[in-house]
Each structure stands twice: as structure tokens, then as C-alpha cells.
């Protein structure tokens, strides 16, 4: 039975309380708890009992303060439920774990407005940040105040930052060439919808299409989800009924388009060829399996963690040419 002394204030139980309760000094408590040798069995037991009795738990801050060894990195992603980010996150976790680092994950729920709030909050919780951001660089700068930051899938200008480039130019070219080889000339695209500027992927698509003398203007926006892909495909086909093939911003959207095509009675790939982007494992489960301009998500996550680690420790950062992930076409049943 623990007799609570005084009014039961919710004060934190400190090492001091345990020491007093066990009738020893704080250092002895520390020794007992950390399994040091220089302590008598009986004393140790007494301390351990007292600690348990009082429900004592060492403060991670106090501990971290004195032995400054733990590294924690923040991972910021727009939507953990999107399998692409899941894969990146899983790789990042894996890579961090191998180094004994901790990862705090923040999901901005696809709301760019959340990014800055997250950064602010993250600031005092992690040693470095890795992730996807859509806000302006000077804002990132203001909210990270000197903390290493590695951007994924986005260029950076400020020297303080680092970024992992996604180079899909060649992969998208392959995709379009592949479609052309199959006889397609009316190729549409389902792009991003929530940004003012057209996506890089769209630029790649445009360049590739023009290279084959194909009109790159058959584009519709789609929300980043399977349902969004379905709706997008309907809109695209309504505007451009002549389309026989479609390239999408990513696999999730492609999967939705695939399903929608089926609902519209168009068989894939006979009536409509579909090629996604990302190369998610999910694509292989579809019927037909999804063709995709595939990214090595594992490499993406690892590179980001590796780089933030180097920035953190002051080691030589990886040179820009190594900080790049190339996408390659992985053709499958859908095209």
C-alpha cells in the first residue's frame, strides 16, 4: 500500500523521491536502475522495489541531456494511407533503425497549411527532418531554423537544404514510346489537381508526347486517390473521347482509372491502355496488373535518411548526382 504523502498532487515522481523512499542517494538509485555493478544486491533490490512502488519513470529529457547520444529524425509525409508514402516511410524507418535512430512520423493530411505548423512543432523534437513539402523554401527556412532538412521529390535552391531528385524523364519517355509502339496516338494524362502549376510529370509527358508528334493537351486533373482517378478518367474521356491510352500522375490514380474503365465497359488494355507512375506493389495485385513508370521507393527513403544523417553528423554530404532516383518503365498487363 502506498501512502501518498500530502494532497495527491500529480507531481512527477523523480529520482529524488525514489532515493528518499529507499533511504539512499540519487546516484545509488541511478546505479540500480541502470544495472551498474558497483552496488550491493540488497540495496539494488530495495531501490527497485521503491521505484516500482512509486511508479517511477526516468525523465527522457534529463537523461538525454546528460548522455547526448540519441538521434531522432522527423519524417513528414502528406498521407500515410497513400501506399506510395507508406513505402517511402517504411524504407526510412528501416534505414533509421539500422542506425539506431528514432523516427517521428508526421502526416500533414494532404493539407499544405499543416506543413508549417508541423515544422514548428517538430523543431524542438527532432534533430533533422526528411519529407515532402509543398510550401515555399523561405517558409521552410524560417520554420526549421538551422535544422537539416532533406526534401524528397523536389528541387531546392537554398544551400542549407538538400533534396532527393526524382528523375522520371526517361521513364516517361519509355512509357510513351511503349504506347506508340502498341499503336496508340491519342494519349491522355491524368495529372495532379491541387496545385496551380503543372507537375513535373506532366512536363515529362508533354516532352515525350511531342517527341512522337502527339498532342500533349489531352489532360485532366485528378484527386490523389482511387476515387479521384475514376472521376478523373470520366472527365478526361468526356472531354476527349478519342483517347485510347492514358498515363497517370501516380499508381493510385491509375488504379482508380482501371476500375472506372471496367465500369464504363472499356476493357484494358484492348480499349484503353493505362500506365501509372510510382511502381507500387499494389499494381501487381490489379487485374490486369498495372504497367507503371516505377520508382525505387526503398532507395528513396534510404537516401533521404542517409543524407540527413550526414548533414547531422557533419560528414560529407552525398553529392547531388547520387541524390537521384530514376524511374523506369515496368510494363505489365494494363498496356
Partner DNA sequence: TTGAAAGCGGTACCAA
Partner DNA sequence: TTGGTACCGCTTTCAA
Is residue 52 a contact point for DNA (CB under 7 A)?
no
* Binding partner of residue 73 among DNA, a copy of itself, none, CB cut-off 5 to 8 Å per kind: none
Q: Which of the ranges 140-148, 206-214, 241-249, 327-335 carries the binding residues for a copy of itself, by CB under 8 A?
A: 140-148
Task: Confirm or reject binding of residue 14 to DNA (CB under 7 A).
Answer: yes
Phi/psi for 192 (5° steps) reads -50, 160
Select from 43, 72, 86, 185 the one that contacts DNA (CB under 7 A). 43
For residue 276, give the C-alpha cell.
501509372
Find out whether 130 and 74 touch, Cβ atoms under 8 Å: yes
| Cβ nearer to a copy of itself, comparing 144 with 244 | 144
Q: Are 131 and 153 in contact (CB under 8 A)?
A: no
Among 6, 10, 12, 159, binds DNA (CB under 7 A): 12
Window contacting DNA (CB under 7 A); options: 40-48, 104-112, 167-175, 191-199: 40-48
Q: Which of 1, 68, 181, 319 binds a copy of itself (CB under 8 A)?
A: 68
Choices 61-69, 197-205, 206-214, 317-325; region in contact with a copy of itself by CB under 8 A: 61-69
CB of 322 to a copy of itself, least distance (A): 24
C-beta atoms surrounding 234 within 10 Å: 17
> Quick one: which of 209, 215, 293 has its CA closest to 254?
293
Q: Which of 16, 27, 45, 90 binds a copy of itself (CB under 8 A)?
A: 90
Considering the complex, what minimum distance in angstroms separates the CB of residue 242 from a copy of itself?
Answer: 26
- Of 38-46, 123-131, 270-278, 320-328, the window that binds a copy of itself (rule: CB under 8 A) is 123-131
**Contacting residues toward a copy of itself, per CB under 8 A:** 10, 12, 51-52, 55-65, 68, 70, 72, 79-81, 83, 86-87, 89-90, 93-94, 97, 100, 102-107, 109, 121, 124-127, 145-147, 226, 255-256, 259, 262, 281-282, 284-287, 314
Amino acid at each position: 500500500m502506498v501512502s501518498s504523502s500530502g494532497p495527491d498532487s500529480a507531481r512527477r515522481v523523480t529520482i529524488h523521491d525514489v532515493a528518499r523512499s529507499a533511504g539512499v542517494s540519487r546516484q545509488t538509485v541511478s546505479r540500480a536502475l541502470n544495472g551498474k555493478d558497483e552496488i550491493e544486491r540488497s540495496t539494488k533490490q530495495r531501490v527497485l522495489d521503491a521505484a516500482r512502488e512509486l511508479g517511477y519513470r526516468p525523465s527522457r529529457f534529463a537523461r538525454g541531456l546528460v548522455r547526448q547520444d540519441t538521434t531522432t529524425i522527423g519524417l513528414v509525409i502528406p498521407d500515410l494511407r497513400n501506399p506510395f508514402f507508406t513505402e517511402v516511410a517504411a524504407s526510412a524507418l528501416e534505414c533509421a533503425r539500422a542506425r539506431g535512430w528514432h523516427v517521428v512520423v508526421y502526416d500533414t493530411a494532404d493539407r499544405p497549411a499543416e506543413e508549417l505548423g508541423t515544422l514548428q512543432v517538430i523543431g524542438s523534437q527532432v534533430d533533422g527532418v526528411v519529407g515532402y513539402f509543398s510550401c515555399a523554401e523561405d517558409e521552410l527556412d524560417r520554420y526549421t531554423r538551422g535544422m537539416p532538412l532533406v526534401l524528397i521529390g523536389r528541387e531546392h535552391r537554398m544551400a542549407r537544404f538538400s533534396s532527393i531528385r526524382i528523375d522520371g524523364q526517361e521513364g516517361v519517355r519509355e512509357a510513351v514510346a511503349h504506347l506508340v509502339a502498341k499503336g496508340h496516338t491519342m494519349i491522355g494524362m491524368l495529372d495532379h489537381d491541387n496545385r496551380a502549376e503543372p507537375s513535373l510529370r506532366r512536363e515529362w509527358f508533354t516532352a515525350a508526347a511531342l517527341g512522337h508528334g502527339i498532342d500533349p493537351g489531352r489532360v485532366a486533373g485528378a484527386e490523389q486517390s482511387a476515387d479521384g482517378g475514376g472521376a478523373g478518367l470520366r472527365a478526361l474521356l468526356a472531354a476527349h473521347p478519342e483517347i485510347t491510352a492514358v498515363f497517370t500522375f501516380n499508381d493510385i490514380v491509375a488504379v482508380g482509372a482501371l476500375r472506372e474503365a471496367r465500369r464504363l465497359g472499356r476493357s484494358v488494355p484492348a480499349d484503353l491502355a493505362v500506365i501509372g507512375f510510382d511502381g507500387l506493389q499494389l499494381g501487381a495485385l490489379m487485374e490486369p496488373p498495372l504497367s507503371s513508370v516505377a520508382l525505387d521507393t526503398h532507395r528513396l527513403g534510404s537516401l533521404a535518411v542517409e543524407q540527413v544523417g550526414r548533414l547531422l553528423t557533419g560528414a560529407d554530404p552525398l553529392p547531388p548526382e547520387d541524390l537521384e532516383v530514376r524511374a523506369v518503365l515496368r510494363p505489365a498487363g494494363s498496356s
